[in-house]
Amino acid sequence: MKPERHPREDDRLRELRRYGILDTDKEREFDELVEIASDICEAPVSVINFIDEGRQWFKAEVGLGVRSTPLDTSLCGHAVLQGDYIEIPDTLDDKRMADNPLCTGDPGFRFYAGSVLKGANGLPLGTLCVLDHRPRALSDHQRKVLRVLSRHIMRELDLRIALDREQTLRREVDHRVKNSLASIGALLSMKARRETDSAARLALEDASNRIRSLSSLHAELHELDGQASVSLQSLFMRIEIDLRQLLPEGIQLTISVGDDRVGPQLANSLVLIVNEFVANSVKHAFGSGHGSIKVEIEAKGDRWSLVCCDDGSAGAKEAERAATGSGLGTRVIHSIASSMDIAPQWRADGYGMELKLDSSTANSVG
């Protein structure tokens, strides 16, 4: 007998497609579940199947060797119309299956037991079932295991939907954050260009610079794609491009960094320190309007170092001022370094300022 359509067949099929499970590759998580069901129920055949339009499709199977069969001969097509669980001790004694070629053949399926897989709206999508070539019955323990495994299957599928929804929301939030940061940075730059007061202009440029650095870090983190570390080379390529756009003509910037990866927290700290050093150099180091700033970063395993230097006119007084953190920029650097339990090393000899941080003197962050 051909299985009847579910009374809410259209709704049922929509729910099935919402899970996006049809025609996906085999997965070990599901293969192991049918293996467990087969072993515990002592059945040669076990499948996780979903009743699609015109076919039943198997996500995982033991002892069957195919991924789909026509719905006309589906035993599970009958099961989804009957409660949460169905057990047929002898299929040839059941009028729905007595003429089914899968049961009447040699060897035919003479025993069937299936626990129905239901979607979040309660509609049946398929079954976790076991089949045997001889009439028989399951024990209470075997029936319980079949029901528990079927609930586990649906929890896994529901979790995947929740994760997909969360990732979609995250992508939308990340996109909006990226656009917002870009808009704020652009507005600050426009205001800085129009500002006639030099102190206000410098403050706006500094704020714009920090927003751009934050935007670059956000973009790098957004592209991690599930990874737990940041490529310093990729990140500081963005940072260098952004900073060069803000540097006055005549001042050169070079950032040297290997293809190393670090945690997001350390990456953020390095970006902020470099940003503050460059901003300080632009403000205080180059009275002539010409000069260069160099940044070198190295990270190997748990060890990393950062060296920032310029060829400006800083001397002992400026080095002492930086070491005590009396300026806003140096206070920011000292604060970040302190959070990493590292004391920044400053050196100046009248031909420029150098800042060095080395994780070998403390615990690394990241």
CATH of the domain at 244: 3.30.565.10
Distance CA 93, CA 187 (A): 79
Give per-residue pLDDT as tens, 188-229: 777 777 778 877 777 777 677 667 666 666 665 655 554 567
Range of the domain at 108: 9-161
Kindly state whether residue 192 falls inside one of the protein's structural domains: no
**Domain edge (last residue) among 134, 161, 188:** 161
Domain shared by 238 and 353, yes or no: yes
Domain shared by 22 and 147, yes or no: yes
pLDDT of 264 > 70? The answer is: yes
pTM (whole model) above 0.75: no
Round the average pLDDT of the chain to a whole number and report it. 84
φ and ψ of 296, to 5 deg: -125, 130
Kindly state whether residue 146 falls inside one of the protein's structural domains: yes
Domain shared by 236 and 124, yes or no: no
Closest CA to 64 of 144, 129, 122, 113: 129
Kindly state whether residue 171 falls inside one of the protein's structural domains: no
Domain shared by 236 and 140, yes or no: no
Is residue 351 within 8 A of residue 311, CB to CB? The reply is yes
pLDDT band at 366 (very low <50, low <70, confident <90, very high): very low
Is residue 201 within 8 A of residue 195, CB to CB? The reply is yes
pLDDT of 240 > 90? The answer is: no
Kindly state whether residue 223 falls inside one of the protein's structural domains: no
